[in-house]
A and B are shown apart, each in its own frame.
Chain A
Amino acid sequence: MKKKILEIKDLYVEYITEDGIVHAVNGLNLELEKGQTLGLVGETGAGKTTTVLSIMKLLPEQIGRITKGTILLDGNNITDLRETEMQKLRGNAVSMIFQDPMTSLNPVLSVGDQIAEVLELHQAELGKKRIDERVDEILDMVGLQKERKVEYPHQFSGGMKQRIVIAMALACEPKLLLADEPTTALDVTIQAQVLEMMNRLKDTFSTSMMLITHDLGVVAQTCDSVAIMYAGRVIEQGTLKDIYTAGRHHPYTIGLFNSIPDLTKDTKRLSPIKGLMPDPINLPNGCAFHPRCPECLDVCRYEMPEESCYGTHKIRCHLYK
Chain B
Amino acid sequence: MKADVNILRKTKVKRRGQLRSIWNRYKRNKLAMVGLFLMALLVFFSLSAHFIVDYDKAIHQNMQERFQEPSLKHIFGTDQYGRDIFARIIHGAKISIFMGLFNVAIALTIGSIIGSVAGYYGGYIDGIVMRIMDVFLAIPQTLLAISIVAVLGQGVINLMIALIISAIPKFARIVRSAILTVRGQEYIEAARAYGTNDMRIIFKHVMPNAIGPIIVQATLDMAFAILSIASLSFLGLGISPPTPEWGSMLSEGKTYMRDYSYLVVFPGIAIVITVLALNLIGDGLRDALDPRLRN
B3 touches A18 (CB 8 A): no
Bound complex: CA A154 to CA B186 (Å): 10
* Total inter-chain residue pairs, C-beta < 8 Å: 35
- Kindly supply a per-residue 1/0 record for chain B positions 93-121, scoring 1 wherever the CB is within 8 Å of any chain A CB and 0 otherwise: 00000000000000000000000000000
- Kindly supply a per-residue 1/0 record for chain A positions 256-287, scoring 1 wherever the CB is within 8 Å of any chain B CB and 0 otherwise: 00000000000000000011100100000000
Q: Taking the nearest CB of chain B, how far is it from the CB of A295, in angstroms? A: 18
B contact face: mostly helix, strand, loop, or mixed: helix
Do A18 and B24 form a contact, CB below 8 Å, given A62-B295, A275-B3, A279-B7? yes
Instruction: A60-B292, A63-B293, A279-B7 are known; give 19 further A-B pairs, CB within 8 A.
Output: A16-B295, A18-B16, A18-B24, A18-B294, A62-B295, A63-B295, A107-B180, A107-B181, A108-B177, A108-B181, A153-B184, A154-B184, A274-B3, A275-B1, A275-B3, A275-B4, A276-B4, A291-B3, A292-B3
Q: Taking the nearest CB of chain B, how far is it from the CB of A156, in angstroms? A: 11
Q: Taking the nearest CB of chain B, how far is it from the CB of A264, in angstroms? A: 26
Residue pairs across A and B with Cβ atoms less than 8 A apart, 19 shown, are A16-B295, A18-B21, A18-B24, A18-B294, A60-B292, A63-B293, A63-B294, A63-B295, A107-B180, A108-B177, A108-B180, A154-B184, A274-B1, A275-B1, A275-B3, A275-B4, A279-B7, A291-B3, A292-B3
CB interface residues, A 73-108, toward B, < 8 Å = 102, 107-108
B16's nearest neighbour on chain A, judged by CB, is: A18
- Whether B135 is near chain A, meaning CB under 8 Å from some CB there, is no
Interface size class of A (residues with CB under 8 A): 10 to 19
Chain B CB within 10 Å — which of A153, A274, A276 has the most?
A: A276
Residues of A with Cβ closer than 8 Å to B? 16-18, 60-63, 102, 107-108, 153-154, 274-276, 279, 291-292
Bound complex: CA A279 to CA B6 (Å): 12
- Whether B72 is near chain A, meaning CB under 8 Å from some CB there, is no
A contact face: mostly helix, strand, loop, or mixed: loop
Bound complex: CA A63 to CA B293 (Å): 7
Q: Which residues of B contact A276 (CB under 8 A)?
A: 1, 3-4
Q: Which residues of A contact B177 (CB under 8 A)?
A: 108
CB interface residues, B 1-47, toward A, < 8 Å = 1, 3-4, 7-8, 16, 21, 24
What are the 9 closest A-B residue pairs judged by CB atoms, nearest first? A154-B184, A275-B3, A276-B4, A62-B295, A107-B181, A63-B295, A276-B3, A107-B184, A108-B181
B21's nearest neighbour on chain A, judged by CB, is: A18
Q: Which residues of A contact B293 (CB under 8 A)?
A: 60-63
A152's nearest neighbour on chain B, judged by CB, is: B184
Q: Which residues of A contact B292 (CB under 8 A)?
A: 60
Do A17 and B294 form a contact, CB below 8 Å, given A275-B3, A276-B1? yes
